Structure formats: C-alpha cells, structure tokens
Amino acid sequence: MSKDKQAEEKSPAEASGLKVNWDSSSMSTSYANVVNANSTREEVSVFFGTNQSLSGADSKELTVELDNRIVLNPYAAKRLSILLGRVVADYEKKFGDLNLGAAQE
C-alpha cells in the first residue's frame, strides 16, 4: 500500500490526532486454518483452530482443535469486520480473487 493511501486510511483515533503506539512485547503468534464465531447481545466470540485431519474426503467426521478464543464487544467486532474486509480486498487486488468454492456465500 502506498504511503499516500495509508495516510488516507487512518484509524478513527489517528484521524482525530491521537497517536497510537502498538506495544507487541507480550504478543504471541498462533496459526489457524479454521475460524468460527457466535454472539450474544453483549459479546462476539471468535474461535480459531486447526484442522489436522489427514483422512480423505470419504471421512464422515472432522476434528478441529480449537486453540484460541477472542471475545469482543459488538463495536470492536464490527471494526474488525471492516478491517478484515479491507485487508482481503487489498490482498485480492494484489494477488487475485480468493475462491472459497462451496463454502462461499
């Protein structure tokens, strides 16, 4: 992304003149190839895991090991949804469309 475009797409905090310092000193990294989510009135839970099944397509059962759960309030979940939409759109612009096949809605 060009510096001009980055300047145009500032976060609401940055747009209001607030400098955001991202402290990643305690961050950990996990890999996920499966994600699911559900919600209540007060929160949205996003579950991340890995499908480690080596069985063929004939199998009638799939085991997904859930590793992480992130709980967000609905406002943070909506901001995440917008952010991920932008990231995926940028990715597809650079590398081409992502076809999810039958799973795509």
Has residue 15 got a pLDDT over 90? no
CA distances from 38 to 35, 49, 54, 55 (A): 11, 15, 27, 28
Give the pLDDT confidence score for residue 57 in this predicted structure: 61
Question: What is the distance of C-alpha 15 from the center of its chain?
Answer: 23
Give the pLDDT confidence score for residue 54 in this predicted structure: 65
Report how far residue 29's alpha carbon sits from residue 17's, in angstroms, rounded to the nearest whole number.
Answer: 30
pLDDT in tens, 52-68: 876 656 667 788 899 99
Say if residue 79 is exposed, middle or buried (CB neighbours under 10 Å; 0-12, 13-18, 19+): middle
Has residue 84 got a pLDDT over 80? yes
Has residue 16 got a pLDDT over 90? no
- pLDDT bin (cut points 50, 70, 90) of residue 7 is very low
Structural domain boundaries in the chain? 30-96
Report how far residue 47's alpha carbon sits from residue 78's, in angstroms, rounded to the nearest whole number.
Answer: 16
Has residue 10 got a pLDDT over 70? no
- Positive or negative, the CA dihedral 15, 16, 17, 18 is negative
- pLDDT bin (cut points 50, 70, 90) of residue 1 is very low
